Structure 1
Amino acid sequence: MSLIYNLLIYLTHLGLKCVAPFNKKIKLGIVGRSKAFNILKSNLNKQDKTLWFHCASLGEYEQGLPVFQALRKHYKKHKIILSFFSPSGYQIRKDSPIADVVIYLPLDTKKNAKTFFNIIKPELTIFVKYDIWPNFLNELKLRGLRAILISAAFRENQPFFKLYGKTLRNALFSFEHIFTQNETSKTLLKSINYNNVTVSGDTRFDRVSNQLNTNNSLSFIEKFKNNKLCIVAGSSWPEDENLFVNFINSETSKNIKFIIAPHNIKPAQIKLLEEKINTKTILFSNKENQKLSSAQVFIVDTIGILSKVYSYADIAYVGGAMGNTGLHNTLEPAVFGIPIIIGNNHSKFPEAKSMIDNNGMFSVSNQKEFNTILNELIKNESKRVNSGKKNSNYIKKNEGAVIQILDYLRI
């Protein structure tokens, strides 16, 4: 099985190189991986003590951040290497303050794994959620280096638990301990005789709770909102935006403000969205010297401020579940105690199911359902406030994963 895995890695690499000239994201990954070893060599000395954090993409980085921050504070004399698999993570967090060196993870081959650990010898390695790379993890174990997996979430249909998944399954045993989000994941690990497991919960709850301790003020949003009821659509895709645009164009009120923060902020996409809206709209990129309070819609055509924008929302809509792209982070708005609306494709997101069951979140499948629940939340202040409180209470109830992980590490 190991031979087949390595062959697949090789063939995948060849395939990506062929596609790279026609796909910007893939090209970024190919070029970035080719530079990883040189970046490590130029930033590290043999005597450096190191830690290694690996994340698949931006979401996993945000998930692991509270743990990373605690380790950064504790291991002040260590150099921290942060690696990403996805360009979307690397490009946005390549200047992360919690790391001394940020790289793309090289392709998971035995040769690359040996070269990687010849350059760094991390005293501790942390992987977040998934992105299990057998050659790197097996080499790490062979060298007697410590590794843990945090916020892990497993499903029965994953290769780890199938007859054909031996290579990936063996890689899990490179972790000295795995912290899972739920009991189901622990049970699945025990089914393959992996027993060093703690159900700690999801570190994202700690991550979003920390947001309440930061300065979330945005003066331009405050001016735009102008003390009126504000509805925020975060991480929206075209299918999500269609719901909003139709609602704004047909039922809008001068006493309601709308903020749309699209997932795709390419100029052509933003222009298309703006042209569909029949009321005064201002973009983040052209907000200067404009009377913000006179606009009804504000489009956030930038990244990095959505979590702060949610603090101004009275109602939030989180995108991704009207289509098949995957529901985006619903915990970010939930921590601010506001009701949330999402699409109906959310079966892989247990936090969504929990908040729906708690009546703090509402799932819709079409324009009619969207209009109905949004109008109800707008007109019924009591329901709006009570639903929001249920979401903030849900966040508080699930905090504490970071403390368990740090206790295990004796920090």
Structure 2
Amino acid sequence: MILAIYSALLALVLILGAPWWLLRMATSGRYRAGLAGRLGRIPDELRSAVAGRRTIWLHAVSVGEVVAATELIREMRKALPGWVIAVSTTTETGQKLARERLGGESPVFYLPLDFAVLVRRYLKTLGPELLVLMESELWPNLMQECANEGIPIAVINARVSDRSFPRYRRLRALWKPLLKHVSLFLAQSEETATRLVEIGAPEERVRTSGNLKYDIKAAGESAMTALLREKIPAGAKVLVAGSTLDGEEKMLLEAWTKVLEVTPEAVLILAPRRTERFDIVAGLVEAAGFDVVRASKLQPGEVSLGQEGVILLDTIGDLASVYSLGTAAFVGGSLVPMGGHNPLEPARFGVPIIMGESWENFREIVVSMQAAKAVRIVAAPDLANAVTDLLMNENGAKEMGQRGQAVFTAQAGATRRTLDALVGLLGRLHRG
């Protein structure tokens, strides 16, 4: 009954929201990609990739989850030769990155809308021996249909954020019967493990494995990073502002004007979180009085960039590598109340980090970095001073970056623990 109500509400939301969705598709192109697959049409390449082969279905919603899962998927292939790891995503940016990183060896497709009839079509095609869900991707009909078909479920790198925990608790009556279908929960932290049990997960199936994002490895310097390294004047101090959201770019540009008064040789690389905002952010840069240097338009062999412009990183999948160019980094989603993004990407390069006051989505990580004095949390009015200090105080910035890198390194190992747990789960299931 609860699932019937959930499905009816989901259908109602889609029907009532249809005019808005159609308008967004027509005007921005967003949500258009993969629409047929989301509505249940199985891509031909997916059918052929899994035909006659043992399959694991892993769902990674967007860019962050794809990055975190990449090394695990590679290790799974080594541990399970001949198996197919089929990867679904929800967002277009996640899909593009998954195809770039994994498409040669893993079929990549869009997660269908969470209706039982659509989910069943994918389960019939894939015939997975295990469904692996990343972080907090708990889709009720997908989980129930797997249970109906006897397909075990593992939730890995699991997290329950401060924002979502009260909602999960209020809906415990919905989640408890669904969570009992999960064979294994691998939580990022002890706190998340406790929260999972509180919202209905069977305690004996919950373990703490650590955060896969601590095991993110650079896949080598990206071509874009190498190009920017060539273009940025030698000795220039660089601020990489990554994963910025609506409202943050204006604050950053206002702060940057003040930074340049003290350190005119500085360079700003601005990387919006969402691709559909690239043109909007370019307009904001121009309105602030700066030239826009679009990274996607740069060509090798041209003259180096001057300091009068702001580099707009309008590409997908390069930010994690571009952070290595930073004298300092600002991690976005934190000056606006959106919970922040992952500070580990710059930390792994020893780049000192600034964040705003909204970081609850990565609370365990930020708290550990705060304890090590490896991140600076600032309000918008203090942003210019914080950036200037890190760009000018070379020794202090270097030491802060080293502390962040040490936090990153000390927490490594989640990939191996997760791999061992998944392979062990498959072994137990087959022996059973």
Q: Aligned partners of 2:313 and 2:397: how far apart in 1?
A: 24
Query: Is 1:259 matched up with 2:266?
Result: no
Greater CA deviation, 246-255 or 396-405? 246-255
Which residue does 2:371 correspond to in 1? Answer: 357
Cα deviation code 1:162-221 (max 9, x no counterpart): 3x43333322222211100111122223333432111111101101xx11x623551432
Query: Are 2:270 and 2:313, in contact at CA under 8 Å, matched by a contact in 1?
Result: yes
**1:96 Cα shift?**
4.5
Cα deviation code 1:262-320 (max 9, x no counterpart): 23454532431331354565321333364224334422222221122111111111111
Query: Are 1:53 and 1:125, in contact at CA under 8 Å, matched by a contact in 2?
Result: yes
Q: Specify which of 187, 192, 195 is matched with residue 185 of structure 1.
A: 192
Q: Aligned partners of 2:49 and 2:376: how far apart in 1?
A: 50
Q: Aligned partners of 1:360 and 1:230: how far apart in 2?
A: 18
Q: Specify which of 275, 300, 303 is matched with residue 291 of structure 1.
A: 303
Which residue does 1:220 correspond to in 2? Answer: 228
Q: Which amino acid aligns with 2:311?
A: F
Cα deviation code 1:34-78 (max 9, x no counterpart): 254254774256522211111222222222222112113333422
**1:353 Cα shift?**
2.9
Partner SS state of residue 23, structure 1: helix
Q: Aligned partners of 1:41 and 1:255: how far apart in 2?
A: 50
**1:22 Cα shift?**
0.8
Q: How many residues align?
A: 406
**1:335 Cα shift?**
0.7
**1:341 Cα shift?**
0.8
Cα deviation code 1:69-128 (max 9, x no counterpart): 211333342233211233342244345425542222222223233332222221222110
Q: Aligned partners of 1:117 and 1:38: how far apart in 2?
A: 13
TM alignment of 1:88-127, pairs within 5 A: 88-97=93-102, 100-127=106-133
Greater CA deviation, 67-76 or 11-20? 11-20
Q: Aligned partners of 2:110 and 2:215: how far apart in 1?
A: 26
Query: Are 1:335 and 1:395, in contact at CA under 8 Å, matched by a contact in 2?
Result: yes
Q: What value does the CA root-mean-square deviation take over the aligned residues?
A: 2.6
Q: Aligned partners of 2:392 and 2:51: how far apart in 1?
A: 64
Query: Is 1:57 matched up with 2:62?
Result: yes
Cα deviation code 1:339-379 (max 9, x no counterpart): 11111112332122332332211122123x11222222223
Partner SS state of residue 249, structure 2: helix
Compared with structure 1, are the counterparts of its residues 382 and 203 closer, same or farther at alpha carbon in structure 2 (3 Å cutoff)? same
Query: Are 2:239 and 2:267, in contact at CA under 8 Å, matched by a contact in 1?
Result: yes
Percentage identity across paired residues of the two chains: 23
Which residue does 1:66 correspond to in 2? Answer: 71
TM alignment of 1:138-149, pairs within 5 A: 138-149=144-155
Q: TM-score, normalised by structure 1?
A: 0.89
Query: Is 1:324 matched up with 2:337?
Result: yes
Greater CA deviation, 28-37 or 181-190? 28-37
TM alignment of 1:160-179, pairs within 5 A: 160-162=168-170, 164-179=171-186
Q: Which amino acid aligns with 1:176?
A: S
Q: Aligned partners of 2:367 and 2:45: how far apart in 1?
A: 42
Partner SS state of residue 232, structure 1: strand
TM alignment of 1:188-267, pairs within 5 A: 188-191=195-198, 192=200, 193-207=202-216, 210-211=217-218, 214-215=220-221, 218-252=226-260, 253-265=263-275, 266=277
Q: Aligned partners of 1:371 and 1:40: how far apart in 2?
A: 50
Query: Is 1:392 matched up with 2:414?
Result: no
Greater CA deviation, 341-350 or 190-199? 190-199
Gaps of 5+ in 1: none
Query: Are 2:238 and 2:268, in contact at CA under 8 Å, matched by a contact in 1?
Result: yes
Q: Aligned partners of 1:352 and 1:291: how far apart in 2?
A: 39
Q: TM-score, normalised by structure 2?
A: 0.85
Q: Aligned partners of 2:186 and 2:214: how far apart in 1?
A: 14
Gaps of 5+ in 2: 425-432
Compared with structure 1, are the counterparts of its residues 169 and 62 closer, same or farther at alpha carbon in structure 2 (3 Å cutoff)? farther
